[in-house]
Amino acid sequence: MTISDKTSTDSELTKRSLGEEFESLLVQSNGNGVSLSEAMHALKGRGMAVVMLIVSIPFLIPVPTTFGLSTPAGLGVMLLGLYIMIGREPHLPQWMGRRRLTHGTLERVVWFTRKYEKWVKPRLKFMTWPGIDRLLGASIIFGGFTLGLPGPNFIPALAVVCLLIGLIERDGLFVLLGQLVNLLLLAFLIFVTYLVLTYGYTGAKSMVEQWWSNGSSPATQPVEAQKAATQGS
């Protein structure tokens, strides 16, 4: 049985929706939050993909989280993708299982899940066929890699969340959306690599920061501005 098959079977056997499962987890936390191992145990039958979804959602919403920096989250997502690629049942590493999610973070996860649930349904099932497990796993690995990079995490988290929702709920449309976001991220990384090779790290960093702050592309800046940005490189 492939990972996608197992995820589908687990979802079919679980009568409650994800929102209901997360609400139950919120009640069980009793205001004290939960570790990821505790969440995995409470959500038995859902698997590691659901736990990684819980970990990734906080990066989409402005909520403080004690999970830590994005790097551990990215590593966990990459590990999940690797398990999917090689066709093994995922399991949560001990070092990640000890990390905790606060009660406030769980509240926002429940709120977010309730919002998206009405848009999710099984469709475009060819996007989650067992034969494309490797492609889906590779996409999740790339999403985890970009999530773990320093800088804004919203776009990488969006890709990861869409891919995981699609995987868990057998919704090919969400898988497709996650793939498209990943393609945009890949294009951006290629562009940044070009800037670094052309203008050096300092110049590229300055140009990207200026682009990020005023919303204009470095490619459209005047040559003089580009030269000024590269000074000191």
The 10s digit of each residue's pLDDT in 145-172 is: 998 887 778 899 999 999 999 888 888 8
Give the domain-ending residue among 179, 201, 219.
179
Considering the domain architecture, whether residues 112 and 220 belong to the same structural domain is answered as no
Considering the domain architecture, whether residues 217 and 138 belong to the same structural domain is answered as no
Instruction: Give residue 195's pLDDT band: very low, low, confident or very high (50, 70, 90).
Output: confident
112-132: average pLDDT:
80
Considering the domain architecture, whether residues 14 and 122 belong to the same structural domain is answered as yes
Considering the domain architecture, whether residues 152 and 206 belong to the same structural domain is answered as no
Considering the domain architecture, whether residues 128 and 207 belong to the same structural domain is answered as no
Structure confidence at residue 160 (pLDDT): 93
Considering the domain architecture, whether residues 128 and 32 belong to the same structural domain is answered as yes
Query: Is residue 44 one of the residues assigned to a domain?
Result: yes
> Count of domains in the chain?
2
Query: Is residue 86 one of the residues assigned to a domain?
Result: yes
Domain that holds residue 226: 193-230
Instruction: Give residue 1's pLDDT band: very low, low, confident or very high (50, 70, 90).
Output: very low
Considering the domain architecture, whether residues 35 and 128 belong to the same structural domain is answered as yes
Structure confidence at residue 180 (pLDDT): 95
Q: Against a cut of 0.95, is the pTM above it?
A: no
Considering the domain architecture, whether residues 138 and 220 belong to the same structural domain is answered as no
Considering the domain architecture, whether residues 173 and 102 belong to the same structural domain is answered as yes
Query: Is residue 226 one of the residues assigned to a domain?
Result: yes
Instruction: Give residue 66's pLDDT band: very low, low, confident or very high (50, 70, 90).
Output: very low
3-state secondary structure the chain: CCHHHHHHHHHHHCCCCHHHHHHHHHHHHCCCCEEHHHHHHHCCCCCHHHHHHHHHHHHHCCCCCCCCCHHHHHHHHHHHHHHHHHCCCCCCCHHHHCCEECHHHHHHHHHHHHHHHCCCCCECHHHHCHHHHHHHHHHHHHHHHHHHCCCCCHHHHHHHHHHHHHHHHCEHHHHHHHHHHHHHHHHHHHHHHHHHHHHHHHHHHHHHHHHHHHCCCHHHCCHHHHHHHHCCC
Q: Each residue of 31-42: pLDDT tens digit?
A: 788 888 888 888
Considering the domain architecture, whether residues 140 and 201 belong to the same structural domain is answered as no
